Amino acid sequence: MGYIENLGKESLNTDLYELTMAAGYFENRVKERAVFELFCYQLPEKRSYLVFCGLQQVVDYLCNLRFTQEDISFLKKHAAFQSVSKGFFDYLRNFKFTGNLWAMKEGEVFFAREPVLQIEAPIIEAQILETYFLSMLHLQTLVATKASRITRSAQKKSVIDFGSRRAHGPQAALLAARAAYIGGCIGTSNVLAGKIFGIPTYGTMAHSWVEAFESEEKSFLNYIKAFPDQAVLLIDTYDTLHAACNLKKLNKSIKAIRIDSGNLLALSKRVRKILNADQLKNVKIIVSGNLNEHKIDHLIKMKAPVDIFGVGSEMVTSKDAPCLDLVYKLVQIEEGNGRIHLKRKKSTGKAYLPGRKQVFRLCSSHGRFLKDIIGCFLQKRPQGSCPLLEPVIVNGKLTQAMPDIEAIRQYANKRIHGLPAKCLTLKKTRPLKTAVSSPLKKQCQDMDQNAKRGLLIVDVQNDFCPGGNLAVKDGDAIISQLNRYIKIFSKKNGVIFASRDWHPQKTSHFKDFGGSWPAHCIQRTKGARFHPDLNLPKKTIILSKGTDPRQDSYSAFHGRDSKGRNFSSLIEFAKIQELYIGGLATDYCVKHSVVDACKRGMKTYLLTDVIKGVDPKTTKDALKDMRQAGAVEMTYEELHSRLKHDG
């Protein structure tokens, strides 16, 4: 079944967690409106730009997304939804997208960190869309970008998409054909793409046709008989030059010949010479066979007399850059009273800018792109710039008819020609200059200044200090310095957490029951108490972990407070954006807590003057792991200097 026939039947073509999160929002009555933006963290190597492709399919999906009774029945039986109320399934049964979609025009060129698509909707609606959006836009953007490079390398010669049989499945082949056409190809070999999208289709013959007859000449004659006005003959099955010399004997009209193997430069030159000598100057030469932009560029520079290039595997798989760092991120939430909460990540390699945004492009008087500015959505437009994001769907309805594929193709070509020459090189990554606007920079600075900080003290308990059942050497030596941290966080209104191992008497964590460790920190024993010299304020939030006798629980993120709330939800509720961590032991519970904080996008600081490890080697490895996860090392003096100007 083709893509079009499946419209409206894609509701379960998503990751499970999109639907479990949706159920979670429903059960917890989370009704805030959210803004999600889709962008690429960084450009792949040797890509100086990307071509935005796939918007038409995204719009079709949004306008047709429904959950059938069959879909709902399947979800009801799924283990993940056994505790979900009937109301959630009623919600799905009546689901319809009611939000807003803003996007760049399909065919637009864009760069790292620039939002190409923006959803504003109730958070439950916006969340469900993520997987489908990323999957659909990822493939087509990759292929359209690759096709633009290949067709530019061919200069004034034509390129045809021959990649269907090499694509990652039939739907990928169909969508890749569409993207390749938008990226500059003159057509495709994919017949269904011709039917659905109106793309010109082309075909020649395979070696099997030639081999099916008693002679090559007979195969050519029979093909010409079947297709007298459209004959394109494949001449490299046996001997390319011999076949070229025999074409004059056919005394028939031949449209083109194709060479699929061998030295394409040498063969194309010799075949062209033979054809011209035999009064077959109008016969075009098509070459194919593992071509890419670099090989085509070489053939063009060496003046190969090729008229058409057929490109398959390299284009539909974007072989040299087969994936994009494309993401769909929550950037702001709006409460019912209109109050807006900005959202962002600051972890190394995964940081992104907060709040709803607009992309402004500055151009020269000749239409050449000069610079892109990523700015706040409602800011004043920089002088001489044009905004790239525009409304496509408002309140669930299309604002206007979508452009046809020819208009998209022409727009893509125009925008690619607007790029400066440096962006069009094949071998280096040289993107257009992009900048962050002053209002957006200020917004980031304000968030940093107002960021709420949390201090996590990990497992400073009697059993981990000298004299305890699992003592860390000099574990109590960090306590006086920890008390200084506690004092400064209390003064600056930071939130203080203290995790503790809180094991039952019998647990698989202990050696006596198959685990690795001697009995320690058993609930309500002296060994489980915090060290008496640790000055924890009354407002400290205690996180108890290791309570499940079947599991090891090293990370504080496995802990829960006295009301059963997990650490992640407490951090979210307190709006903590920076987490400072110290305690025992560096190579176990501290490490796991730090790495988990980094994975959750927290700006995470490891307080190196208040940690102690069990073993020097594993401690060294743990420090390396925490650095690689994105943690920043800090001491009390460095923190004090940083905070001294705070109010």
Per-residue pLDDT reduced to its tens digit, 618-641:
999 999 999 999 999 999 999 988
Q: Decide if pLDDT at 493 tops 90.
A: no
382 with 302, same domain: the answer is: no
Distance between CA 27 and CA 590 in Å, rounded? 34
Q: Decide if pLDDT at 1 tops 70.
A: no
Which range is least confidently modeled, 110-114, 339-343, 412-416, 479-483? 339-343
497 with 552, same domain: the answer is: yes
Domain assignment present for 443: no
* Long-range pairs of 291-297 with CB within 8 A, sequence gap ≥ 24: 291/150, 292/150, 292/319, 292/320, 293/146, 293/149, 293/150, 293/152, 293/153, 293/426, 294/153, 294/426, 294/427, 296/150, 296/153, 296/154, 296/159, 297/153, 297/426
Active-site annotation holds for 587:
no
Q: Looking at 437, 468, 499, which one is the last position of a domain?
A: 437
**Once rounded to an integer, what is the mean pLDDT over residues 224-238?**
94
For 378-405, how does the pLDDT look when each residue is reduced to its tens digit (9 = 90+)?
999 999 999 999 999 999 999 999 999 9
276 with 214, same domain: the answer is: yes
Q: Looking at 437, 469, 502, which one is the last position of a domain?
A: 437
429 with 478, same domain: the answer is: no
| Dihedral, CA of residue 171, residue 174, residue 179 and residue 185, to nearest 10 | 150
Percent of the chain's residues with pLDDT above 90: 86
For the chain, what is the mean pLDDT?
A: 93
Q: Decide if pLDDT at 645 tops 90.
A: no
485 with 552, same domain: the answer is: yes
Q: Decide if pLDDT at 478 tops 70.
A: yes
For 284-320, how does the pLDDT look when each residue is reduced to its tens digit (9 = 90+)?
999 999 999 999 999 999 999 999 999 999 999 999 9
**Once rounded to an integer, what is the mean pLDDT over residues 580-589?**
97
**Once rounded to an integer, what is the mean pLDDT over residues 502-518?**
92
For 331-380, how does the pLDDT look when each residue is reduced to its tens digit (9 = 90+)?
999 988 888 888 887 655 677 899 999 999 999 988 999 999 999 999 99
Domain assignment present for 81: yes
**What is the DSSP pairing of strand 369-376 with strand 357-363?**
antiparallel
Domain assignment present for 139: no
Percent of the chain's residues with pLDDT above 70: 97
Domain assignment present for 95: yes
**Once rounded to an integer, what is the mean pLDDT over residues 453-475?**
96
Q: Residue 266 maps to which CATH number?
A: 3.20.20.70
Q: Decide if pLDDT at 2 tops 50.
A: no
Distance between CA 585 and CA 614 in Å, rounded? 6
Distance between CA 607 and CA 53 in Å, rounded? 46
**3-state DSSP call for residue 246?**
helix
Q: Residue 509 maps to which CATH number?
A: 3.40.50.850
112 with 13, same domain: the answer is: yes
pLDDT at res. 499: 97
Which of 174-188, 222-236, 483-497 shows the highest mean pLDDT?
A: 174-188
395 with 280, same domain: the answer is: no
Which range is least confidently modeled, 347-361, 459-473, 485-499, 513-527? 347-361
Which range is least confidently modeled, 180-189, 330-339, 477-486? 330-339
**Once rounded to an integer, what is the mean pLDDT over residues 533-547?**
96
pLDDT at res. 368: 94
For 254-278, how does the pLDDT look when each residue is reduced to its tens digit (9 = 90+)?
999 999 999 999 999 999 999 999 9
- If one compares 413 and 448, the residue with the highest pLDDT of the two is 413
Alpha helices in 38-85 (DSSP H): 55-64, 69-77
Q: Residue 396 maps to which CATH number?
A: 3.20.140.10
530 with 417, same domain: the answer is: no
In the set 40, 53, 589, 598, the catalytic residue is: 589
For 36-74, how does the pLDDT look when each residue is reduced to its tens digit (9 = 90+)?
999 999 999 889 999 999 999 999 999 999 999 999 999
In the set 161, 260, 297, 459, the catalytic residue is: 459
Which range is least confidently modeled, 166-175, 335-344, 510-519? 335-344
Domain assignment present for 566: yes
What is the DSSP secondary structure assignment for residue 157, as one 8-state letter? S
Domain assignment present for 158: yes
57 with 172, same domain: the answer is: no
237 with 119, same domain: the answer is: no
pLDDT at res. 309: 98
CA angle 56, 60, 66 (to 5 degrees): 160
Residue 553 CB contacts under 8 Å (≥ 6 apart), including other chains: 501, 509, 545, 546, 547, 559
In the set 295, 329, 343, 545, the catalytic residue is: 545
Number of separate domains in the chain: 3
122 with 160, same domain: the answer is: no
Active-site annotation holds for 521:
no
Q: Residue 180's domain spans which residues?
A: 144-316
pLDDT at res. 573: 83
Q: Decide if pLDDT at 3 tops 60.
A: no
pLDDT at res. 339: 85
240-250 and 216-226 helices, crossing angle to 10°: 50
Other Cβ atoms less than 10 A from the Cβ of 263: the count is 11
pLDDT at res. 344: 82
pLDDT at res. 242: 96
CA angle 496, 498, 501 (to 5 degrees): 170
pLDDT band for position 7 (cuts 50, 70, 90): very low
Domain assignment present for 66: yes
**Once rounded to an integer, what is the mean pLDDT over residues 19-30?**
93
Active-site annotation holds for 545:
yes
170 with 306, same domain: the answer is: yes
pLDDT at res. 520: 96
Domain assignment present for 468: yes
